[in-house]
């Protein structure tokens, strides 16, 4: 078994004295783990930081084996992200969330969204809404996507302003009226990709995706929300604007 693909390093864990076991998220093969010989060395350690992209060559005798990676750096994002607490928290949060994906299953759209997000970490106006889009894509790809096409109560597709925390479906303004304290206000950019995005929209968006990731995906996996995501939300609380 052998394949070669570009991927994002999700984690790197020391194995023995000179090797590391890394997880790489690729477009075609999804999340894959493998051993990198010499991964603790001076040349490879900076390359194998979570968030960097690498050209990975994976080899194993049988497909179910752990396999051995040979990697070469393609995009180094971590050094720039390290300078700012918010971007570092976003990067670690993205890598941690992707580790909840099933292994060896390709998610091309999610991969593209992730790359766009990580490549734009230098521009907060761009990456904050992309963070919400990434989490929406993660929910969708894992089978827990939100249904925002029509109102859960009356089937209307007009004036959809809220999201039900139970069904994950949109709710129209009229139907939402008696339950405003129980429903999530829906940011307009959830339905309209060209809508302007405010910081409030991003916070609402992250609250919605956070809720559904927790109750739908993480609950099933018996996992907790990554600490880095909580840290990112805490940092956003102090912000008043982008």
Partner 1 sequence: MIGPEIETLINLLSRMPGLGPRSARRAVLHLVRKRESLLLPLADALQTARDSIVTCTTCGAIDTIDPCTICADPRRDDSVICVVEDVGDLWALERAKATKGRYHVLGGVLSALDGVGPEDLSLAGLKTRCDTGLVQEVILATNATVEGQSTAHYIMDMLKGSDVKVSRLAHGVPVGGELDYLDDGTLAEAMKSRTEF
172 binds partner 1 (CB under 8 A): no
What is the pattern of x (binds partner 1, CB under 8 A) and - over residues 1-20?
A: ----------x-x---x---
Transcribe the chain into DSSP letters.
Answer: -EEEEEEEEEEEEEETTTEEEEEEEETTTEEEEEEETTTTSTTTTTTTSTT-EEEEEEE-SSTTS--EEEEEEEE--HHHHHTSHHHHHHHHHHHHHHTTSPBT---HHHHHHHHHHHHTTT-HHHHHHHHHHHHHHHHHHTT---B-SS-TTT---SSEEEE-TTT-BEEEHHHHGGGTTTSEEPPGGGT-TTS---HHHHHHHHHHHHHHIIIIIIHHHT----HHHHHHHHHHHT-S--
Q: Does residue 227 bind partner 1 (CB under 8 A)? A: yes
Q: How many residues bind partner 1 (CB under 8 A)?
A: 30
Residue 49 vs 113, nearer CB to partner 1: 49
Applying CB under 8 A, does 92 fall inside the site for partner 1?
A: yes
Query: Shortest gap between Cβ of 240 and partner 1 (angstroms)?
Result: 17
> To the nearest whole angstrom, how small is the minimum distance from the Cβ of residue 96 to partner 1?
5
Binding-site member from 20, 32, 36, 96 for partner 1 (CB under 8 A): 96
Site for partner 1 in 32-91 (CB under 8 A): 43, 45-47, 49-52, 73, 75-80, 82-83, 85, 88-89, 91
Q: Which residues bind partner 1 (CB under 8 A)?
A: 11, 13, 17, 43, 45-47, 49-52, 73, 75-80, 82-83, 85, 88-89, 91-92, 96, 226-228, 231
């Amino acid at each position: 078994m052998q394949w070669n693909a570009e991927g994002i390093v999700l984690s790197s864990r020391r194995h023995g004295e000179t090797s590391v076991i890394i997880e790489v998220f690729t477009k075609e093969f999804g999340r894959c783990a493998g051993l990198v010989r010499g991964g603790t060395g001076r040349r490879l350690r900076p390359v194998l930081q979570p968030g960097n992209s690498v050209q990975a060559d994976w080899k194993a005798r049988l497909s179910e084996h752990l396999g051995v990676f040979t990697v070469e750096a393609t995009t180094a994002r971590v050094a720039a992200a390290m300078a700012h607490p918010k971007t570092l928290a976003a990067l670690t949060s993205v890598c941690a969330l992707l580790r909840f994906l099933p292994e060896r299953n390709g998610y091309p759209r999610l991969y593209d969204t992730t790359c766009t997000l990580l490549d734009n970490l230098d521009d907060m106006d761009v990456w904050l809404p992309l963070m919400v889009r990434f989490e929406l894509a993660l929910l969708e790809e894992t089978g827990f996507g939100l249904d925002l096409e029509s109102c859960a109560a009356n089937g209307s597709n007009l004036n959809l302003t809220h999201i039900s925390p139970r069904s994950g479906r949109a709710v129209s303004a009229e139907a939402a009226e008696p339950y405003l304290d129980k429903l999530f206000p829906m940011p307009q950019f959830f339905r309209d990709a060209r809508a302007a995005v405010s910081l409030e929209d991003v916070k609402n968006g992250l609250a919605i995706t956070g809720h559904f990731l927790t109750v739908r995906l993480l609950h099933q996996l018996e996992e907790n929300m990554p600490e880095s995501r909580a840290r990112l939300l805490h940092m956003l609380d102090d912000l008043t604007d982008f």
